[in-house]
Amino acid sequence: MKEAIITHLNDAGYLEKMYRSNKSAFKVEFNKVYPELKGNASAEFWNERLNYEREEISPDKRNDIVFVIIASLLAGLIAKLPAIFNIQEEFFYTRNIGFIIFPVLTAYFSWKNKLSTGKIISVAVVFLSGLIFINLLPDARRSDTLVLSCIHMVLFMWSILGFTFTGGIKNNGEKRLHYLKYNGDLLVMTALIVISGGIMTGITINLFLLIGFNIENIYFEYFGIFGLAAAPVVGTYLTQSNPQLVGKVSPVIARIFSPLVLVMLVIYLIAIIYSGKDPYNDREFLLIFNALLIGVMALIFFSVAESSRSDKSHWEIQVLLLLSIATIIVNGIALSAILFRISEWGITPNRTAVLGSNILILINLLMVSSKLIKVLSKKAEVKDVGKAITFFLPIYSTWAVVVTFLFPFLFGFK
C-alpha cells in the first residue's frame, strides 16, 4: 500500500478508493510515508484530512454548557415546587406554568446578548411583578378573567423573552423575524428531544421491570419532570450553538405543511356547511374554531419567517397567499360569530378577549396578504411580508398586557 500511495499520489480518485477500502490501514501507511512527501499539495491535503483533530471545547462553549445545566436544574426545581412546599398543583401550574421556562430562557438570552444591567433589572422587575400579580388574583375556579389572565400571562412572558432575544425594544424587523424562526426551530428541536426522552423512558422502565423493580412512579416524579422542564432549555442551546441541526429541517417542514394545511382548511370549511355545526350558537365549536385560526396563523408567520431568509419559488408564495386568504375567511366567520353572540347575550370577558384578538389577527392577515400579492406581482420583496408581521408583534404584546393585567379589574374578577 505504501508504494501505491507514492505512485498514485496525484491520482485523487485512486487514493480515495484505497482509503475507502481500508481506512485504518491507509492512515497508518500514509503517516509512515508522509515525511518523504511534505510540500506536495496532494500529500498536504491527505495529511490534514486524516490527522485533523477537533479543537478543544472553548471556554465560551464550556460556560454555555454549564449555564444550560444550571438553568435546566433550576427549571426542574421550579416545576417541583408544589411537591416541595405542598402547594396545590392545580393552583400552581395554572398560574405559574410560564414561570417554569421563560425566566431561565430570558436569563440565557440576556447573558448571550450582553444586555445592560439596567435592562436586566427591568426584565427581572417585570417578571417579579407578573409573578406576584397572577398569584394574588382571587382563587375563583369559575372566573373567566382568571383563566384569560393566566393564558395571556404566558403570551406576555413570550414577549419579554422576545425583548431579550432581540436585545431591546428598538430593533429592526429582521431580529424579530429571527425570533419567530427561533420559536419554530425550538418547537422542532424540543419535539425531537421529548420523543427521544420518551423512548429512553420506556426502555429504562421496562429494563428495571425485567429485574423486578417498578420505578415508573419514581422515574416520572423526578426524572420525567426535570426532563420535560429541561427540554426547551437544551433545545434553545442546540438551536443557537448548532443552527445547522434544524436550519435545514424547519424550512422543509414549512414547505410540506403549508400546502397540506391549506387543503385541510378548504375541506374543513366545506365540511362545516354540511355538518350542521355553526360557531354562532355553539360555544365549544367557536373556541375550537379560534384555536384553529391561531394555529394556522402561527404556521403562516413561521413560513414567512423562513421565506425571508431564502429565495422562495412563485409556487410557495402562491400557497402562502391562498393560506392567508383561507385564514382570513376563517377569521371572518369567527369574528362575525363573536359579534353575533355579543349582540344576543351581551359583553363578557371571554367574548371581549376573543373579539380583540380576532380584530388584530384580521388586520395583520390583511396586511400580510396585501404584501404577498405585491410579491407575486413583483412590486415588493419577501422581506416586506416579514415586516408586515414584525410590525404587529408589539401590538399583540400590548393586547396581552391589557387582558392579563386590566381585564380582572375591568370585569370585576368575573
pLDDT confidence tier of residue 278, bands split at 50, 70 and 90: confident
Virtual torsion, Cα 41, 46, 47, 51, nearest 10 deg: 150
- Identity at 344, one-letter amino acid code: E
Return contacts of 132-137, CB within 8 angstroms, 24+ apart: 133/404, 133/405, 134/95, 134/96, 134/404, 135/95, 135/96, 137/95, 137/408, 137/413
Q: Quick check: helix, strand or coil at residue 30?
A: helix
Position with higher pLDDT, 128 vs 3: 128
**pLDDT value at 291 more than 70:** yes
Place of cell 427561533: 182
More confident residue, 41 or 74: 74
Mean pLDDT of the chain: 87
pLDDT in tens, 102-133: 999 999 999 998 899 999 999 999 999 999 99
Interval 131-136 mean pLDDT: 96
Please provide residue 348's backbone torsions phi and psi, each rounded to the nearest 5 degrees. Answer: -130, 165
Q: Following CA atoms 330, 336, 339, 344 in sequence, which dihedral angle do they give, to the nearest 10 degrees?
A: -120
pLDDT, tens digit (0-9, with 9 covering 90-100), for 341-394 = 999 999 999 999 999 999 999 999 999 999 999 989 988 887 788 888 888 899
Q: What is Dmax (Cα atoms) for the chain?
A: 93
User: What DSSP letter does each residue of 177-222 carry, written as one string?
Assistant: HHHHHHHHHHHHHHHHHHHHHHHHHHHHHHHHHHTT---HHHIIII
How sure is the predictor about 287, in pLDDT bands with cuts at 50, 70 and 90?
confident
- Would you give the DSSP letter of residue 52? -
Q: What is the pLDDT at residue 50?
A: 82
Positive or negative, the CA dihedral 20, 21, 26, 28 is positive
* SS3 labels along 61-105: HHHHHHHHHHHHHHHHHHHCHHHHHCCCHHHHHHHHCHHHHHHHH
